[in-house]
Amino acid sequence: MTGFVNAITTDLKGEYRPKETIIFKIDGNILENIEKEQIDFLRGHVSVPLESGIEKIQGDYYIWAIAPENNGTYTFLIKEMVTTDKGKVVEIDFQQLFSIAGEITDYNVKPGIIFTGKDFSLNAYSFIDNEIEIPVSYVGEGFVKLNPGENKIELSVKDVKKNELLTIGIGNYQIPAYIIGEDTGNNEIDRLPEFRFKPRIIKSTIINDGKKIAYPIQIINSGEEEISVVFDYDKKIFLIPKDEITIKSNEIYEFNASLKEFPSKNLNEFIYAKSGNFSIELPFVINVTESIEEAKTDYLKSNFSETELYYCSELNGKQCTANELCSGELKQSLDGACCVGVCKEEEKGNSYSWIGWILAGIVILIIAIVFVKYKRTKVSGDKKFNDRLKSAERNNRMP
């Protein structure tokens, strides 16, 4: 499903200047974490790589990007977002148009979102060819001078005593910043665990044929820490082998979820996976039919290719550069082409090219020999003919 769902809104402006810092927030009923790999910016149907970032702060998603330099109409895209439309769980490609117009901005700032418990800095790039002064608002007011080109603005968290969502004013920009306060006794960022369900959503149309349906499910821990996960679900509907599991970093836990009994009506349920205060949801959309032709569960088909794949690191692979070839198996991942093997530098030319050069040399040599023999034969024939001609002339002049 592609389009605009009323449940999802943003405060993305309609127009920005070239190279301006774009900062906006996404609101709506978002049922699954939005990963950076789902975010894209398009011009027409072509992806435009922009320097950008995303942070989830207190349940809200904030996105920043450095606007493209070329004027025109662009599309902000979130691929495969799981949300609801008129109460029904759907997976959509959320799109919103914006434009780039006018002259290049005076300056930009990055990153456009801050999440930290330590002193930090912002990079401000000035496109003005002389020194300018801009206001700074962060735990007090002040000014900073920007020279042409790149400038670094150093900021401290020492005056922030508790965990707090602030807005940092840097000239024309309002940057959302979640600061871990000193009085909390934890200046390290308490990052949310990075794990997700695969598939993103289960859609199944079933018929009461007496067979028990098991739905294979994976939980992928792509974070750097081992996590404990507790499942929360309606035990009158689902049957799951374990209610609590542990998943090591970059490992996958696989299990089956089955229905305890055949439902009397369509179901729209969830299985939740919780780690600490963080929770993810797996929507189950189960429709009941009496037609065997309509019964299907697409993701269980052997030829089904799910759009969400693993990260290359989860496949224990790496991405080869443009000058390298993969000596192992090449798989598709969320990062793009992934080499499960060794990336080797591409050899310049074929290793057997010397054979071609030798054959070419032999052919040239043969042609040269034939040509020399031909020339010699021709010269010898011409000489004999001239001698015969002179002899005939002498004989003709004799009395």
Which pLDDT score is estimated for 377? 61
Q: Which of 63-72, 73-82, 156-165, 258-267 has the lowest mean pLDDT?
A: 156-165
In terms of average pLDDT, the best of 149-153, 273-277, 380-384 is 149-153
Calculate the average pLDDT of the chain: 81
Residue 281 covered by a domain:
yes
Joined tokens for residue 334: 């969320």
Q: Is residue 314 scored above 80 in pLDDT?
A: no
Q: Looking at the structure, do residues 329 and 367 belong to the same domain, yes or no?
A: no
307 pLDDT band (50/70/90 cuts)? very low
Q: Looking at the structure, do residues 43 and 157 belong to the same domain, yes or no?
A: yes
Q: Is residue 20 scored above 80 in pLDDT?
A: yes
Joined tokens for residue 389: 């001609």
Residue 22 covered by a domain:
yes
Residue 376 covered by a domain:
yes
Share of the chain above pLDDT 90, in %: 33
Q: Is residue 392 scored above 90 in pLDDT?
A: no
pLDDT tens-digit readout, 174-233: 999 888 766 555 544 455 567 888 887 888 898 888 777 889 999 988 777 889 999 999
Residue 190 covered by a domain:
no
113: nearest Cα among 193, 177, 189, 22: 177
Q: Looking at the structure, do residues 136 and 169 belong to the same domain, yes or no?
A: yes
Which pLDDT score is estimated for 131? 93
302 pLDDT band (50/70/90 cuts)? low
Q: Looking at the structure, do residues 38 and 158 belong to the same domain, yes or no?
A: yes
Q: Looking at the structure, do residues 147 and 218 belong to the same domain, yes or no?
A: no
Tell me which of 85 and 249 has the higher pLDDT.
Answer: 249
Which pLDDT score is estimated for 336? 66
Which pLDDT score is estimated for 191? 56
List the domain range (segments joined by +) for residue 338. 313-345
Q: Is residue 308 scored above 60 in pLDDT?
A: no
pLDDT tens-digit readout, 49-59: 889 998 888 77
267 pLDDT band (50/70/90 cuts)? confident
Q: Is residue 315 scored above 80 in pLDDT?
A: no
Which pLDDT score is estimated for 85? 78
Residue 189 covered by a domain:
no
Tell me which of 116 and 224 has the higher pLDDT.
Answer: 116
Q: Looking at the structure, do residues 337 and 382 belong to the same domain, yes or no?
A: no
Q: Report the residue count for the chain.
A: 399
Q: Looking at the structure, do residues 71 and 168 belong to the same domain, yes or no?
A: yes
210 φ, ψ to 5°?
Answer: 85, -5
Calculate mean pLDDT across residues 135-150.
Answer: 90
Which pLDDT score is estimated for 200? 78
Which pLDDT score is estimated for 187? 45
Calculate mean pLDDT across residues 86-108.
Answer: 89
Is the pTM above the cut of 0.75?
no
Q: Looking at the structure, do residues 168 and 28 belong to the same domain, yes or no?
A: yes
Q: Looking at the structure, do residues 174 and 155 belong to the same domain, yes or no?
A: yes
The C-alpha atoms of residue 246 and residue 232 are separated, in whole angstroms, by 15
The C-alpha atoms of residue 122 and residue 134 are separated, in whole angstroms, by 14
Residue 353 covered by a domain:
no
Check: CB of residue 319 under 8 Å from CB of residue 339: yes
Domain end, chosen from 149, 184, 219, is at 184
Q: Looking at the structure, do residues 152 and 299 belong to the same domain, yes or no?
A: no
The C-alpha atoms of residue 396 and residue 399 are separated, in whole angstroms, by 8
Joined tokens for residue 296: 């299907």
The C-alpha atoms of residue 43 and residue 77 are separated, in whole angstroms, by 11
Q: Looking at the structure, do residues 19 and 166 belong to the same domain, yes or no?
A: yes
Q: Looking at the structure, do residues 233 and 264 belong to the same domain, yes or no?
A: yes
107: nearest Cα among 123, 89, 85: 123
Number of structural domains the chain divides into = 4
Q: Which of 200-214, 304-318, 364-378 has the lowest mean pLDDT?
A: 304-318
Q: Is residue 375 scored above 90 in pLDDT?
A: no
CATH code for the domain in which residue 57 is found: 2.60.40.10
Q: Is residue 304 scored above 70 in pLDDT?
A: no
Q: Is residue 104 scored above 50 in pLDDT?
A: yes
Residue 357 covered by a domain:
no
Residue 355 covered by a domain:
no
